[in-house]
Amino acid sequence: MTPADTFHLLLAIACLLTAAHAVGYVFRRLRQPPVIGEILGGLALGPTLLGAVAPTAHAFLFLERPSTAIVLASIYECGLLLLMFCSGAEIRAAFHGADRKTVALITLTGTLAPFLLAAAAFSLIDPARHMGPANSQTALLLVFGVGVAVTSIPVISRILFDLKLLETDFARIVLSAAVLEDVLLYIVLAIALSLAGGQHEAAFALPAALGASGADAWGVTYHALATLAFFGLALRLGPRLFRWAERFRYNLAHKASPLAHQLIFLMLMTAIAGAMGVALMFGAFVAGVIVGRTGERTDELAQGGARVPGLPGAGHGPATAGEAPAPPGESQRPASQAAREAIKTFSFAFFIPIYFAIVGLKLDLLRAFDPLFFLGFLVFACIAKAVSVALGAWLAGERTAGVVNLAVAMNARGGPGIVLASLAFDAGIINDKFYATLVLLAMVTSLLAGAWLGRVVQRGAALR
């Protein structure tokens, strides 16, 4: 890169980072998910606003130098992997026995019913109007269903935290059901990405060796089995391997830096997923789950207590309940937890805000947006998800207040909905219009859930 290339790149990164954090801060002060502000910050720098008002400035920042786009794309990919790692590390919520029936029924109906309703609605639309260059109708159907059924763990966690509801039984049910839902839907999304990847990329590693790169019956079967096998084996064997690696006397990387050890584990799990033909982000997600669950056991033994589950970026604030104060001159947290928090701190300061800002940067609401389709999809997705969750809550014996509030809370799509949109768009499954629809759906449903629960708390009404 020339000095001029470096200048343009640093200027573009500074603008994206400033816009993301500035607008995200405003949303945080308004007790709204900061991720929405980060996307809007990128949207303001994209073709929707800056490109329309000052096209020369937009081109100067992002289009004039090819190297800028290449490096930003790399940061975007790193941001996605770190986001999935941090999300996986927070999936540690355990539900009490009294809640199991409600959690199980909400998960079953709230995942299966909206997915099936979406599959039925898919037959009524023209796939060609929403399909991307991968030209995979099966993958598009899976993305369509996941877009309706997904729930955001980070967003709903943040809403519950801001409303001081995180330690209530209502929050425990919501987070537990959201964890189970998202793991199931991530598996479906992984299959969709594998199908699309097999049609517009050259296969490598195991899929290539087994001839499973196409969308024929064998290709579909292989990707489904490979995805399930990766999740199952990694979650079964991964914690043991990770603990063994931490204790291995010749693991000099861990001795030098536990943070580096966790990053190396993240990279290796991501590489294994890619070699099996599973989407790379799921390697990062599983690595986070393994590191979080393995580290949690160590941390609880060291601290004599447990952390509050499910809250993204929990280490950014004061010590949580159960943390023993550190003796003078010693670290307040065990090395494993301190390493996780260091990764999260830097990721949420740099990589992840830029990732969401670039999501907004890709949006072109002036040329690639169908407002009528968006409104129809918004209404359908909200009704399908809310009715499905409400059915599960009703079957579990919840009172009217619980049925309604659980249905609204589980409708927040937030980060996972945005990740779904960006992954499907980058894989060529969907076109730019459907991409805009999915991103806006995630943003609007998150705002609606936060506003509704805020009103319930202000009125002092019962959540269940």
Residue 153 pLDDT exceeds 80: no
Q: CB atoms < 10 A from the CB of 87, how many?
A: 24
| pLDDT of the residue at 115 | 92
In a domain, 378, yes or no: yes
| Higher per-residue pLDDT: 294 or 72 | 72
Q: What does the block give as tokens for 31?
A: 């007790």
Residue 189: give the domain boundaries.
Answer: 99-343+369-459
- Whether 325 has a pLDDT exceeding 60, the answer reads no
| Res. 23 pLDDT band, cuts 50 70 90 | very high
Whether residue 326 has pLDDT greater than 60: no
% of the chain exceeding 70 in pLDDT: 84
pLDDT given at position 417 = 87
Q: What's residue 305's pLDDT?
A: 45
Is 255 among the domain residues? yes
Q: Which of 228, 220, 227 is nearest to 199 (CA)?
A: 220
pLDDT (tens digit, 9 = 90+) per residue, 85-121?
Answer: 887 887 654 445 557 888 889 989 999 999 999 999 9
Higher pLDDT residue, 358 or 151? 358
Q: Summarize pLDDT for 246-262 with one digit per residue, the tens.
A: 888 888 988 899 999 99
pLDDT of residue 35: 84
Q: Is 14 within a domain?
A: no
What is the rounded distance in angstroms from the CA atom of residue 51 to the CA atom of residue 308? 43
- For 424-442, the pLDDT digits (tens) are 998 899 999 999 999 999 9
The answer as to whether 29 is a domain residue is no
Indicate whether 446 pLDDT > 80.
Answer: yes
**What is the pLDDT confidence band of residue 281, given thresholds at 50, 70 and 90?**
confident
Task: Check residue 97 and give its pLDDT.
Answer: 57
As a whole number of angstroms, the distance between CA 408 and CA 256 comes to 47
Percent of the chain with pLDDT over 90: 40
Residue 59 maps to a domain: no
Cβ–Cβ < 8 Å for 146, 420: yes
The CA distance from 123 to 110, in Å, is 21
Supply the pLDDT for residue 350.
95
d(CA 151, CA 234): 23
Tell me, yes or no, whether 383 lies in a domain: yes
Residue 416: give its domain's CATH number. Answer: 1.20.1530
CA triple 367-384-37, angle to 5 deg: 45
Q: Which one has a higher pLDDT value, 232 or 334?
A: 232
Residue 30 placed within a domain: no
- Name the one residue in this structure whose structure tokens are 């584990």: 265
pLDDT at residue 329, as a whole number: 38
For residue 430, the cross-strand partners are: 131
The pLDDT value recorded for residue 312 is 39
Domain contains 221: yes
Confidence of residue 231 (pLDDT cuts 50, 70, 90): confident
In this predicted structure, the answer to whether residue 338 has a pLDDT above a threshold of 80 is yes
What domain count does the chain have? 1
Cα four-point dihedral sign 134, 136, 137, 140: negative
- Least confident stretch, 189-198, 306-315, 368-377, 407-416: 306-315
Mean pLDDT across the stretch 295-301?
53
